[in-house]
Structure 1
Amino acid sequence: MTNRPGSGPEPGDREIDDSELMDVAQDPEQAESLHKALRTLANNPNVQGPLQEMAQGILSGRMGMTDAIKDERYMDALGDRMTEIRHAAESQTMEDREAERGKREEWERRRDEEEQKEREERDGPSTNLFTGSKKRGPGGHRG
């Protein structure tokens, strides 16, 4: 695991966890959402330049979220991207909007399924261990 200044994340590099975003997040769920958004920016081939650099820097731990927020270059890039998105939305036809709505609903459904699966994987083993050890364990207490 190496973090070299100026390099993007590479396989095997350390990635921050949700708790490392709590300096800007209001609660763990918001930190988790922010983490996922950063991953999307870092890995999306349509996002390049300063936004992708920022996301990769934060995810690798080379830069804190508060530092990124204070960096004018990153905030300008974010503003430019939001303007592009707004212009694209304004020029959409009704058919385009309907198609986008369908794609968004499908994406939200898949995201919800993935989040549920992650929750089950995260919460499942600890619950099973507790339940399993309570029901029967070798050398258990007399009772």
Structure 2
Amino acid sequence: MDSAPDSSGKRVDDSEFLEMTQQDPVQAKILRRSLEHLASGLGGDALKEMAQEVLSGRMGLREAADVSAYAEQAVERAAPLAERWAALSDGEREALAAEGERQIEDERRRLDEERRTESENRPGTKSRHDGSGWSLY
């Protein structure tokens, strides 16, 4: 999926998303993934353009929310979801909320594992327990 449609290949760093998610790297990753889905055209042309602008770094997410064409299409796309949510029973809502929490925890575990693997495989770093540098004398 092309999340940086401009020819420079520029891609916004995660600081934009960390700010929006109260410094939660898992929520930031989920937000980026959602924008990448929108950038593929999933939410219509205006939201595709908005996501591409944000992912390329040409526009901040807060700034994009102020663009009326983007906001109008977001509201238009969200209305059916809000109606479906309103039609759910309390039990159905709780089950969906629990599933969302499970998915967030799964993503948190994946991110922790990725970080652990990256630090173990980073050149020039060694494990605390690799045995080198230790001497009885």
CA distance in 2, matches of 1:93, 1:24: 28
Residue 110 of structure 2 is matched in structure 1 by 117
Q: Which amino acid aligns with 1:35?
A: R
Count of matched residue positions in the alignment of Structure 1 and Structure 2: 129
SS of alignment partner, residue 67 of structure 1: helix
Bigger relative contact order (CA 8 A; separation at least 6): 2
CA distance in 1, matches of 2:71, 2:79: 12
SS of alignment partner, residue 37 of structure 1: helix
The answer on whether the counterparts of 2:41 and 2:47 sit within 8 Å (CA) in structure 1 is: no
TM-score scaled by structure 2?
A: 0.63
TM-score scaled by structure 1?
A: 0.61
**Pairwise mapping of residues 41-52 of structure 1 onto structure 2 (< 5 A)?**
41-43=38-40, 45=42, 47-52=43-48
Residue 10 of structure 1 is matched in structure 2 by none
CA distance in 2, matches of 1:80, 1:120: 38
What's the Cα RMSD here? Answer: 3.7
CA distance in 1, matches of 2:65, 2:32: 15
Percentage identity across aligned positions?
28
CA distance in 2, matches of 1:111, 1:44: 24
Residue 18 (structure 1) aligned to one of 9, 14, 19: 14
Q: Displaced runs of 4+ in structure 1, greater than 4 A? A: 101-115, 127-131
* Alpha-carbon distance, 1:40 to partner: 2.6
Where structure 1 has 5 or more consecutive residues not aligned to the other structure, the ranges are 6-12
CA distance in 2, matches of 1:93, 1:141: 62
Where structure 2 has 5 or more consecutive residues not aligned to the other structure, the ranges are none
